[in-house]
């Protein structure tokens, strides 16, 4: 079992001051695979003080120096991809093939995308007609709080723009998948990040998370996680009026157009429900299909999910693994059972473990039809390999159903790209993908409504980690 009991503060690995031991459970075996120390308020104070000191000098470095630093980070990151993949697979159940490609690839995409965003970025902008200009400056000390489901993706989405903008940062990763963050700290150390610019404090939300979000010397909180937790973080931050930047929950629709070619286009969007065992905030789980094609859609989606293999994360291949922990497994099981109770038609899967396993937090790939907007599963984020089918009468009805959610992180449209052009502008979501389900390097990622505020990635993500100043000359 890995012992990762120290925090990385001010360029050194240090013992916790009053923290407590926490064991990470492998979701495939239900046995402990790593141990960390859940940090204390004293640990947070030490990390924030280090970041505040480092900001005085790091904020004055040139963009050329910071870009060179990020370039070195990218080189060191690439060396550790096998190590990243191994611990992500073990701690969150991601199949090793997926962990070594999609999981680690998502992180490097954000690192590269942030670096490429510098091309054409204007740190100063003149104001037309007056002797004045707009300048972009670092925010200060940033607390980055990241989730377990796409751990490197979210760490890199926050740390890369922090580094480039001239901020200093304290990272609190999820305690459910912490080892990749410790390796990431080693990457930054090897790349020569100055002491205090990056700090890692392991911990949980109620301990380290609360201490960071309330801390008077933290200038900005960037959080990715549930909407429930995001609301509490905003309340914690309110007393010090710090900037709060959030990417929260989602309940993404997959609007299947009336003339969609199911065989040609639907697998690409259905894959978003299955990828990462459904543990993606942008998973397009709500299929909206034309009423006239209901039976055809049911058969296609049922067969697609029936073919999904469930197996150990240690095996190579295109299967799915378990969900991250027992709490998530129990939540998904409850939602499946409630859907049956509320009258949804079970087409594939259902409650209980898949036949291929006898332990671990595995979910049977599940499909429901006859799902209506009054059912719980139409609104609640599932975070598992579960799809629902809801029918619509015409395109206006489809758009209304797609937008009938408190979330607005992403939406997917399946069908003819030309026909989709009339739809994408009417979907209330920060990301709309046609015949696919993910974003792109350099894009702006974030949500409408209760899916958060602010953006990550590319030029927009860089700006969100900076202050805007107007300078007026006589």
The set of catalytic residues is 247, 281
Tell me which residue of 35, 52, 20, 69 sits closest to 182, measured CA to CA.
35
Torsion, CA 38, CA 42, CA 44, CA 50, rounded to 10 = -130
Q: What gap in Å lies between CA 220 and CA 62, rounded to an integer? A: 22
Burial string for 373-406 (b: 16+ CB within 10 Å, else e) reads eebebbeebbbbbbbbbbbbeebeebbebbbebe
- Residue 382 exposure: Cα atoms within 13 Å on the Cβ side: 32
Strand partners, 215: none
Contact 40, 134 (CB under 8 A): no
Q: What gap in Å lies between CA 93 and CA 325, rounded to an integer? A: 9
Rounded to whole angstroms, the maximal C-alpha distance in the chain is: 77
Contact 437, 112 (CB under 8 A): no
Q: What gap in Å lies between CA 256 and CA 398, rounded to an integer? A: 9
Q: What gap in Å lies between CA 42 and CA 29, rounded to an integer? A: 34
In 3-state terms the chain splits into helix, strand, coil percentages (rounded to 5) of 40, 25, 35
R_g of the chain, CA atoms, integer Å:
23
Q: Which residue has the tokens 């609190």?
A: 172
Q: What gap in Å lies between CA 143 and CA 233, rounded to an integer? A: 11
State how far Cα 366 lies from the chain centre: 23
């Amino acid at each position: 079992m890995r012992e990762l009991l120290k925090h990385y503060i001010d360029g050194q690995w240090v013992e916790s001051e009053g923290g407590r031991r926490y064991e990470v459970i492998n979701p495939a075996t239900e046995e402990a695979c790593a141990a960390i120390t859940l940090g204390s308020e004293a640990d947070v104070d030490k990390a924030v003080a280090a970041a505040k000191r480092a900001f005085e000098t790091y904020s004055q470095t040139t963009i050329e120096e910071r870009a060179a630093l990020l370039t070195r980070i990218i080189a060191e990151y690439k060396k550790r991809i096998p190590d990243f993949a191994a611990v992500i697979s073990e701690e969150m159940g991601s199949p090793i093939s997926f962990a070594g490609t999609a999981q680690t690839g998502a992180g490097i995409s954000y690192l590269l995308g942030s670096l490429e965003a510098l091309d054409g970025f204007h740190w100063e902008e003149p104001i037309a007609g007056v002797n004045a200009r707009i300048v972009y400056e670092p925010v200060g000390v940033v607390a980055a709080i990241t989730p377990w489901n796409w751990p490197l993706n979210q760490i890199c989405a926050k740390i890369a723009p922090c580094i480039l903008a001239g901020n200093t940062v304290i990272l609190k990763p999820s305690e459910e998948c912490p080892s990749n963050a410790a390796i990431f700290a080693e990457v930054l150390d090897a790349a020569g990040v100055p002491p205090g610019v990056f700090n890692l404090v392991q911990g949980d939300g109620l301990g380290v998370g609360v201490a960071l979000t309330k801390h008077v010397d933290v200038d900005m909180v960037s959080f990715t996680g549930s909407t429930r937790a995001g609301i509490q973080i905003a309340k914690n931050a309110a007393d010090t009026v710090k900037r709060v930047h959030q990417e929260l929950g989602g309940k993404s629709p997959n609007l299947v157009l009336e003339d969609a070619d199911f065989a040609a286009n639907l697998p690409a969007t259905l894959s978003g429900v299955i990828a990462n065992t459904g543990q993606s905030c942008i998973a397009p789980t709500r299929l909206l299909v034309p009423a006239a094609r209901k039976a055809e859609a049911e058969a296609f989606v049922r067969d697609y999910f029936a073919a999904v293999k469930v197996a150990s994360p240690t095996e190579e291949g295109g299967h799915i693994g378990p969900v991250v922990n027992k709490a998530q497994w129990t939540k998904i099981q409850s939602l499946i059972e409630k859907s049956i109770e509320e009258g949804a038609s079970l087409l594939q899967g259902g409650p209980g473990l898949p036949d291929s396993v006898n332990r671990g937090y595995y979910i049977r790939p599940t499909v429901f039809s006859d799902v209506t907007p009054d059912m719980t599963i139409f609104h609640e984020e599932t975070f598992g390999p579960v799809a629902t089918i809801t029918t619509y009468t015409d395109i206006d009805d489809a758009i209304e159903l797609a937008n009938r959610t408190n979330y607005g992180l992403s939406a997917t449209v399946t069908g003819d790209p030309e026909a989709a052009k009339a739809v994408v502008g009417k979907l209330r979501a920060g990301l709309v993908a046609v015949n696919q389900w993910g974003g792109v390097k350099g894009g702006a990622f974030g949500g409408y409504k209760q899916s958060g505020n602010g953006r990550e990635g590319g030029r927009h993500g860089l700006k969100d980690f900076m202050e805007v100043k107007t300078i007026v000359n006589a």
